[in-house]
Amino acid sequence: MVRIPASRTAVPALPTWLVPRPALWRHLAAARPGQLVALIAPAGSGKTVLLAEWARHGDGPPTAWASLDRDDADPDRFWSVVLAAVLATGAVPADHPLRHLSGRDATGDDLADALLEGLGTLCPRIRLVLDDVHVLADRQAGVRALARLVRHRPAGVDLVLAARSDPAVGLPRLRLEDGLRELRAEGLRFSVDATAALAAASGVALEADDVDALHRRTEGWAAGLRLAVLALRSGEGPEGPLLDRFSGDDRSVADYLGGELLDGLAPDDRELLDDLSVCRRLPDALAVALTGRHDVVLRLEELGHGLGMVDRAGPGEHHVHALLRFHLAADLARRRPERHRQQHATAARWWAGHDDPAHDDPAHDGPAHDDPAHALHHAERAGDPALTAELLERLAVPLLQRGELPALRRALDLVGAAVVDADPRLALVAALVHLDAREHAAAAARMRVAARAWPAAPGPSLTALRAAAELLAGSVGIGSGDPARTASPEPDDAGLAGLLHLARGTALLAASPANTATARTELHRALVPARTDRLVRLEVAAFGELALAAVAEGDAGGVTGPGEAALDRGGPPSRTARTAALLAWSDLLRGDPGRAAGRCADVLGLPGRLAPADRYALHAVHGAAAGDLGRRGAGLTEARDARIALGDAPLPAPLAGALALLEHRGALRLGNLRVAGEVVGWLAGRLGGEGDETVLLRARAEAATGRWESASAAVAPLRRPTPACPPATVVVEAALLETEAALRADDAARGRAALATALAVGRDRDLVRPFALAGPRTRVLLLGEPAGTGHAGRVAAACAAVTDAPAPPLSERELVVLALLPSLLDAPTMADELVVSVNTVKTQIRSIYAKLGVSSRRGAVTEAQERGLLV
């Protein structure tokens, strides 16, 4: 027998920074009797710590622990270590044959046979953990000894193996026979929560964002996490910049990877990993292109089993652990910088769809590799502006359509202004990038550059790109952007054609609500290539414009589908704010002011700069919702302030009309004819004259001052429930005005007919709010209808919830007197100031009090300020 040091058979002490992982050792403990338990994962994955935790704290039999080293590949030493570990548990009875075996001079097969026989008779059973069994792989004799133990698996022992790679003990056969309980690298990786717990246990406090960054950088690899935490603890603090610097090139990580993983790696394998290290994503076809080896996939599979830091990410794609990849790439850049640049250039061309015969093969079922962002990233890392410019010629427009704007902007900056300005295609793309970022001055400058560099005989693609850029620029007030360009020729490229359709639809909607039907057709045409070619940015923009088209039609229900689809596809608040505002408008008009207010507040509370039009839309809807929820004065102030802050910034005509209806209603509910008049003038200026919404607003003001027949006559042209203009909101409100006017004239039949029209259109477009805010006699008529479900039920509930009436407006003379109330002037002095009698002033003051619902001068001033009547 070989004497074995006691330290080799002691369960390792648990580290002070231990993060308990009971779920994992309960997974191991669920193995049935006779099953082999195997932990297979790279160095530093936490195998030993997990098994030690299980041995010390888990339920189950006593644990015999054997830490193996390379000398244990000798069979005599191997069996001696196993025996010493078993005896060290203290669970072997004094009269058991294994006790006597330790004193005999047995070797070779005799020792193995006796030990296996003795282990089979142990009662109670024990758990035998063999740690680091991969060290036996250097000698076949050691492997055979281990395989013999696994093959017999004595009845009195639960056998547990821990290794960095698969031991040659027939694991596939055991798996097939359900004789294996295994835990691999994926299962050992730390979760985000466990990462935070490890940092805290190590004395490092991290914010949630830093924890996410650390977990992402290390991919939950235990050793990487521990090294990172130690680096953070020894540095100046756990702030972001230090986390950003922590990678596979960090000294501590490099030493660990070199000493524990890469030492002893065959030169061919090290060169293969070096060549692949430049790529975060590694489709198998790209691996072939980078290495020139057609057996690279097989070799990666073998390295995955041996090295443990390479695994299959999905069908046709492998993944090299991030820290290992960082380390190898940094080392390659230092030792062989030209090779490093060459590999990046190869990857750039591959991701662009070049140099791969499978790219055009319909039978090729590997992952798609026409990824412009990846291509430009690698071209940038190759340090080759000429390559970047070459790739931009064909990738710029797809990048734009997919929403990969940061990558596109970096590439344009890399090639330089001189190259961009000399190429009208790149200048137009740069203009579109600036438009997306709301950098209108820069966009206009690029448009002028493109015009100066315009060729004598442009092709259809370049012509279409210019048309799209000019239309989109025109929709935000840059240039003319004439929607008449709808007759421009179609380019052959489907994605570019989709961009042109989007630009046409956007320009048509921005110009006039009368263009809505044509705009909708253009936008649906844009969606076809957007969906087919996964052009996310194009798809989001088309859905957002379709939501606006629904607003233009006054279709609250129609906003939801395209609006939610646009938000579901993601994007920063700067791109999705307007869509959120449109959805909030839909919520409000469908009778849910709480949801509308919450949606607006969520976006307004996010960091980052919003476009003026988007900010105005969000505040206007939020103000209207606040009014519906009881904060009338504050809501009107918010909407008015937002409109003033918008200034001359561009705003699509349909949105201007929809938001004007909201603010005007808020002003009339407070009896504020002055602000209501402001809104009418503002909207007429925006529309360039009298539109359907303007006519409705003027009729509302007539009704607010009691001139119902005049209001009825004014809206007569609007009461036509057709898919064309005016919007359904205007049709419904006009019909409701007619209903109230007819009821006040005691013409019930005319009132019921007008109400039926309003209900039919409202039901079709899911409009509820206009009914809740209709005249008092109209609401009484609505509440007298039989209770129903669906739209009718929601209308009835909304009407019942309104318990207050619009405030009566103050006359012009009363407003003059009101303006004097905050002063210290008494009634006689006011009379002298206004050149009227004291009794006239007192009468007007009493009328002001009555209309404002107050009983004192102070109360009148406060209420008037709340309603915006005093400024």
For range 242-264, the mean pLDDT? 63
Query: Per-residue pLDDT averaged across 240-246, rounded?
Result: 52
* Least confident residue range of 77-91, 347-361, 646-660: 347-361
Amino acid 687 reads: L
The pLDDT, as a whole number, for residue 486 is 45
Residue 370, pLDDT > 80, answer no
270 and 214 inside one domain: no
Q: What is the mean pLDDT of residues 370-378?
A: 84
pLDDT at 364 over 70: no
Which pLDDT score is estimated for 103?
57
CATH code, domain with 847: 1.10.10.10
**Shared-domain flag, residues 168 and 202:** no
Would residue 214 count as lying in a domain?
yes
Q: Residue 407: inside a domain, yes or no?
A: no
| Residue whose entry in the numeric block shows the structure tokens 């191997």 | 78
* pLDDT score at 572: 67
The pLDDT-based confidence of 705 (bands split at 50, 70, 90) is: confident
Strand 282-283 relative to strand 126-131, pairing: unpaired
Q: Which residues pair with 36 in a beta bridge?
A: 180
Please list, in sequence order, all residues whose beta carbon lies within 8 angstroms of the beta carbon of residue 326, skipping any fewer than 6 positions away. 247, 248, 249, 277
Give the pLDDT of residue 363: 35
Give the 3-state DSSP-derived string for 817-842, with helices as H, strands as E and coil as C: HHHHCCCCCCHHHHHHHHCCCHHHHH
Q: Are residues 845 and 767 in the same domain?
A: no
Structural domain contains residue 852: yes
User: Which secondary structure element, helix H or strand E, spans residue 13, and what is its range?
Assistant: none
Distance in Å from the first CA to the final CA of the chain: 101
Whether residue 671 is contained in a domain is answered as: no
pLDDT at 331 over 50: yes
**Is residue 561's pLDDT more than 50?**
yes
- The answer on pLDDT for 481 being more than 70 is no
- φ, ψ dihedrals at 282, nearest 5°: -135, 75
Claim to verify: residue 85 and residue 158 sit in the same structural domain: yes
Give backbone dihedrals phi and psi of 139, rounded to 5 degrees, phi first: -130, 130
Q: Which residue, 775, 801, 827, sits at the end of a domain?
A: 801
Do 16 and 133 fall into the same domain? yes
Kindly state the average pLDDT of the residues 503-522. Answer: 89
- Burial category of 321 from C-beta neighbours within 10 Å (exposed 0-12, middle 13-18, buried 19 and up): buried
Based on the fold, state whether residues 241 and 273 are members of the same structural domain: no
Kindly report the pTM of this predicted structure: 0.70
C-alpha separations of 690 from 507, 647, 695, 704 in Å: 21, 20, 7, 20
Percent of the chain with pLDDT over 70: 91
| Contact present, 491 and 464 (Cβ < 8 Å) | yes
Q: Rounded distance, CA 91 to CA 62, Å? A: 7
Q: What pLDDT, on a 0 to 100 scale, did the predictor assign at position 253?
A: 67
Question: How many folded domains does the chain comprise?
Answer: 6
161 and 200 share one domain: no
Q: Is residue 332 part of a domain?
A: yes
Distance CA 247, CA 265 (A): 21
pLDDT attached to residue 290:
94
Domain boundaries, position 735: 690-801
The model's pLDDT over 536-551, given as tens digits with 9 standing for 90+, comes to 889 999 999 999 999 9
Reported confidence tier of residue 301, pLDDT bands at 50, 70, 90: confident
Of residues 301 and 524, the one with the higher pLDDT is 524
- Tell me, what's the pLDDT at 803? 65
What is the CB neighbour count within 10 angstroms for residue 314?
Answer: 10
804 pLDDT more than 80: no
- Across the range 87-115, mean pLDDT stands at 81
Which among 801, 828, 852 is the end of a domain? 801
Q: 182 and 212, same structural domain?
A: no
For residues 834 and 796, membership in a common domain is answered with: no
489 lies in the same domain as 473 = yes
User: Does the residue 696 lie in any domain?
Assistant: yes
In a domain, 442, yes or no: no
Contact 526, 499 (CB under 8 A): yes
Tell which wins on pLDDT, 243 or 501. Answer: 501
Over residues 138-145, the mean pLDDT reads 90
826-841 pLDDT per residue, tens: 888 888 888 888 888 8
Residue-level pLDDT at 214: 85
708: its two tokens: 């119902």
Q: What is the mean pLDDT of residues 810-839?
A: 84
pLDDT over threshold 50, residue 625: yes
pLDDT at 361: 40
The pLDDT of residue 661 is above 90: yes
Residue 270: CATH number of its domain? 1.10.10
Supply the mean pLDDT for the chain.
86
pLDDT score of 359: 41
Q: Does residue 487 belong to any structural domain of this protein?
A: yes
Residue ending a domain, choose from 188, 213, 234:
188
Other C-beta atoms lying within 10 Å of the C-beta of residue 209: 10
pLDDT of 231 > 80? The answer is no
Which of 592 and 373 is assigned the larger pLDDT? 592
Supply angle C-alpha 510, 512, 515, rounded to 5. Answer: 100
Return d(Cα 60, Cα 528) in angstroms, integer. Answer: 61
In the structure encoding, which two tokens stand for residue 337, read together? 């910088």
Q: Check whether 15 has a pLDDT greater than 70.
A: yes
Same domain for 821 and 790, yes or no, is: no
Residue 424: pLDDT band with limits 50, 70, 90: very high
More confident residue, 802 or 242: 802
Mean of pLDDT values over 780-785 = 84
**pLDDT at residue 355, rounded to an integer:** 42
3-state secondary structure of 125: coil
Own/partner pairs, 134-138, CB within 8 angstroms, 24+ separation: 134/163, 134/164, 134/165, 134/167, 135/68, 135/69, 135/70, 135/72, 135/73, 136/68, 136/70, 136/72, 136/73, 136/78, 136/167, 137/165, 137/167, 137/168, 138/70, 138/73
Q: What is the pLDDT of residue 215?
A: 87
Band of pLDDT at residue 234, cut at 50, 70 and 90: low
Per-residue pLDDT at 244 exceeds 60: no
Peptide bond between residue 124 and the one before it cis (omega within 30 degrees of 0): yes
Same domain, 167 and 218: no
474 vs 483: which has the higher pLDDT: 474
Residue type, 61: P
